[in-house]
A and B are shown apart, each in its own frame.
Chain A
Amino acid sequence: MKLRILSIFFISFIALSCSKEVERTSLKPLVPTSNEPNAGNWKMYIGQPTDYTIPAPKETSSAEYKAELADAQKISANLTAAQKSALTYWQVGSVSRWNEIARELIARYNLAPEPNDNGTYSAPNSAKPDTLPYFPFANPPYASRAYALISVAQYDALVATWAYKFKYNRKTDADNLPDYPSEEAVIAAASSRVLKFLFPGSYPTQLIDNKYEEGRQVGIWAGKNVKSDIDAADILGKAVADKIIAYAKADGTGTAGGSLVIQSQLADAAVGRGLKTAWKSLDVPARPGMLMKFGEVKTWNFDKATRDAIRPAAPPALDSDAFKKDLAEVKHYSENITRKQWSIVQFWADGLGTSTPPGHWNQIALDLLRDASFSEIRMARTLALMNTAIHDAGVCCWDTKYYYFYPRPNQVDPSIKTATGTPNFPSFTSGHATFSAAAATVLSYIFPNQQSSLEAMAKEASESRIYGAIHYRFDSEVGLACGKKIGDYAVARGKTDGGN
């Protein structure tokens, strides 16, 4: 009996200490359902394929090509263990993996700057990214812009790639997709260049360079590309990235941080329009509102006049019955949150130290895209449509937040304690609701049979913020409605971009 107890104990002891491996889903290699022969005609976001030139490739009958082919075949027949492992990693899909790399860097840099000893806060400086506070502070609006830039760069680069693939039509093997230029190498070149612009620090630069060196070789390792396919792809990917970066430098993000003076002006304007109590920071020490001018950043799928037109009407007055009702609901959750509601709050929180709500929707999108085995270019198109919509949602939501300057529930009633961090920006409308509805609308267009599931997820994401006691129900409901309108603009583009 003693021996049995002892042996049960030791088995469980060993089991507990040995099983540190957390459960992960494993990903399968991408085998696209279509080679998308028409994708070279799809509409790019900036310019067209002929804006970029690559050298004309040598014929497959040429001596130069045959020499390259021999070299490439030698490499692919003698892969090292490290190369084989890298190949398995990249074969899940280049658009997919670069999206993950982007999300990893966003998570790493999604930490708020610490206060200075005198209670002020310094802004991250892109010229000194490795000096505290590190550049960038990859918060949700910054992240939404980052994902959009990367996705647009990937998509535009791939449209140009497809145009040239089918123009030159050089191929060696039975695969129907022409080789020149290599799509994996284009994605590596374009993604890495944009990512280095977004994350100029030394750790990201090192990480990105390593991933670039690996990611561009995939075609050779897999036995489907030769060196000139990679070199041409490099020229093309970098050129597209440079155009996207030039766009980004002028998109208004540089001045989106605002200042305490601007913050006062915005608060005064809202009070002038009838607001009884302006939002104030609940951080200790008080922190300037996050990216108070992000509402001025350029949008992808509509213009500023439209941004103003779709801005929601004013939230309830702070002494109205409608307000009191929704405040009471928040107070109720803060005092009676169930275990199930806690799990919803935590599932959707995507706060500091994570890849943000936009990042969460990128994960949802990739799961659907991988299951559907979309080609790299169709994946890129989906992500570009979704992420430009999410970015536009960020712009509209932040425009709305600082226009109305509405206080959070726990500012109005400090007895309300929260189940998640209180974000440092005004309440109306909810970023989670706006981002989620925009994303769900675009993904429902791409995957119509997932519509009810996606809409349910967006709704749950928006409600998680009520359970967490940091938003009123009207913040979430109005946010969902606005996000849907924003998503519809991206869908309208999708219906006419040639990839429908």
Chain B
Amino acid sequence: MMAKKELCLVLNYDKESWNKYWEGDRLRENQNIGTLTSRSASFMAAYGVNEKLNVFAVLPYIENEASAGTMMGLKGVQDLSIAAKYKFYTYKKLRFYGVIGASIPVTDYVPDFLPFSIGLHSKTASARLIIHQLLPYGFHITAQGGYIARSKTNVDRTNYYTGNEIEYSHEMAVPDQVSTSLRVGINKKAVLAEAFIDNITATTGTDIRRYDMPLPANKMDWTRIGLFVTWHTPIKHFSVNGHFSHVVAGRNVGKVEASYGAQLQYIVDFKKKK
């Protein structure tokens, strides 16, 4: 949690790639894509409204391209996400938070050119429960569970085959998601480190058909494990972060063997100095 009247500004950079993907539950390669690389640079802000309430905003720029094949990569500013996190209950060393969030596409990017599309161009609203247990020696364990509702997306064609029938519509239903996460970490004075396992499971959706292109209407699931380390540098208000993750299981998504990222964080303190 941010302290009261503290603003944290973050520049985040991520790079990940895959050369295998799940077509339904079938893990496969496609030599007409080769390796798909996704890079993103995001701006994030977190602000402590008071001791119990934080608000967040995130805006990413994403660039996707393939190492093989003939199709063009896509890039652009994606969706603005905002969230509010509220600590609603404390019991000894146990803390309960509720998070509500929303996101909206900021540019008119093309959603129906997966795997190159930078997003699904859907509006979302989400709610999450976080249970955070402080443990001895600076350790902690966190469990999270949430639901992400996603709006239909507009596509530029008037019909598409779902795998069962032709849907005569220019809209595609983007599935909602259930999100769960478990984190174990340590928070010492200068270092915050966490290991995590995250899962996203879509509530509905179709499978990619054999040797077909993916659709925004697909059921995209994944389980990621990773590590997140933040070092509060001796430079006042300034921290750096490095993170790594790996997709262990999935459906209708790329199998990212290694995702690397780094952050620069700067804290602005708005409290009036006496």
Contact of A17 among B113, B176, B212 (CB under 8 A): B176
Contact of B108 among A111, A339, A417, A418 (CB under 8 A): A339
Is A23 an interface residue, CB under 8 A from the partner?
yes
A418 and B71 within 8 A (CB): yes
* A339 contact set on B, CB distance < 8 A: 108, 110
Which of the candidate stretches B9-17, B157-165, B222-230, B233-241 sits at the interface with the other chain? B157-165
Is B213 an interface residue, CB under 8 A from the partner?
yes
Closest to A354 in B: B161
* A104 contact set on B, CB distance < 8 A: 161, 165-166
Question: Which residues 128-182 of B sit at the A interface, judged by CB distance below 8 A?
Answer: 147, 149-152, 155-161, 165-173, 176
B165 and A13 within 8 A (CB): no
Closest to B110 in A: A342
Is B125 an interface residue, CB under 8 A from the partner?
yes
Is A32 an interface residue, CB under 8 A from the partner?
no
Is B124 an interface residue, CB under 8 A from the partner?
yes
Question: Which residues 172-217 of B sit at the A interface, judged by CB distance below 8 A?
Answer: 172-173, 176, 204, 209-213
A352 and B149 within 8 A (CB): no
A111 and B211 within 8 A (CB): yes
Is B112 an interface residue, CB under 8 A from the partner?
yes
Is A285 an interface residue, CB under 8 A from the partner?
yes
B157 and A346 within 8 A (CB): yes
What's the Cα separation between A9 and B210 when bound, in Å?
39
Interface residues of chain B: helix, strand, loop or mixed (majority): loop
* A4 contact set on B, CB distance < 8 A: none
Is A170 an interface residue, CB under 8 A from the partner?
no
B155 and A418 within 8 A (CB): no
* B152 contact set on A, CB distance < 8 A: 19-20, 22
From known contacts A284-B32, A353-B213, infer whether A100 and B70 are also in contact, taking CB-CB under 8 Å.
no
What's the Cα separation between A71 and B125 when bound, in Å?
57
* B110 contact set on A, CB distance < 8 A: 339, 342, 346
* A401 contact set on B, CB distance < 8 A: none
* A283 contact set on B, CB distance < 8 A: 32
From known contacts A6-B100, A284-B69, infer whether A20 and B31 are also in contact, taking CB-CB under 8 Å.
no
Question: Which residues 296-350 of A sit at the B interface, judged by CB distance below 8 A?
Answer: 334, 339, 342-347, 349-350
From known contacts A16-B125, A16-B151, A23-B170, infer whether A354 and B68 are also in contact, taking CB-CB under 8 Å.
no
* A354 contact set on B, CB distance < 8 A: 157, 159-161
What's the Cα separation between A352 and B30 when bound, in Å?
15
Contact of B166 among A16, A22, A103 (CB under 8 A): A103
A100 → chain B, closest Cβ, in Å?
Answer: 7
Is A198 an interface residue, CB under 8 A from the partner?
no
B127 and A346 within 8 A (CB): no
When each residue 122-142 of chain A gets 1 if its CB lies under 8 Å from chain B and 0 otherwise, what string results? Answer: 000000000010000000000
* B105 contact set on A, CB distance < 8 A: none
What's the Cα separation between A410 and B124 when bound, in Å?
38
Question: Which residues 20-47 of A sit at the B interface, judged by CB distance below 8 A?
Answer: 20-25
Question: Which residues 96-136 of B sit at the A interface, judged by CB distance below 8 A?
Answer: 100, 102, 108, 110, 112-113, 123-127
* A342 contact set on B, CB distance < 8 A: 110, 156
* B71 contact set on A, CB distance < 8 A: 417-421
Is B261 an interface residue, CB under 8 A from the partner?
no
What's the Cα separation between A225 and B100 when bound, in Å?
60
* B70 contact set on A, CB distance < 8 A: 282, 410, 417-418, 421-422
From known contacts A16-B151, A22-B173, A283-B32, infer whether A349 and B157 are also in contact, taking CB-CB under 8 Å.
yes
Contact of A107 among B31, B124, B166 (CB under 8 A): B166
From known contacts A339-B108, A346-B157, A410-B70, infer whether A112 and B125 are also in contact, taking CB-CB under 8 Å.
no
From known contacts A22-B171, A23-B169, infer whether A284 and B156 are also in contact, taking CB-CB under 8 Å.
no
A120 → chain B, closest Cβ, in Å?
Answer: 14
A322 → chain B, closest Cβ, in Å?
Answer: 24
Is A434 an interface residue, CB under 8 A from the partner?
no
B72 and A16 within 8 A (CB): no
From known contacts A104-B161, A342-B110, A418-B70, infer whether A111 and B210 are also in contact, taking CB-CB under 8 Å.
yes
Is A97 an interface residue, CB under 8 A from the partner?
no
Known: A353-B212, A355-B159, A418-B72; 9 extra A-B contacts, CB below 8 A, are A20-B152, A22-B169, A24-B167, A100-B166, A103-B166, A111-B210, A345-B156, A353-B213, A419-B113
Where the two chains meet, the residues of B that have a C-beta atom closer than 8 Å to any C-beta of A are 31-32, 68-73, 84, 100, 102, 108, 110, 112-113, 123-127, 147, 149-152, 155-161, 165-173, 176, 204, 209-213
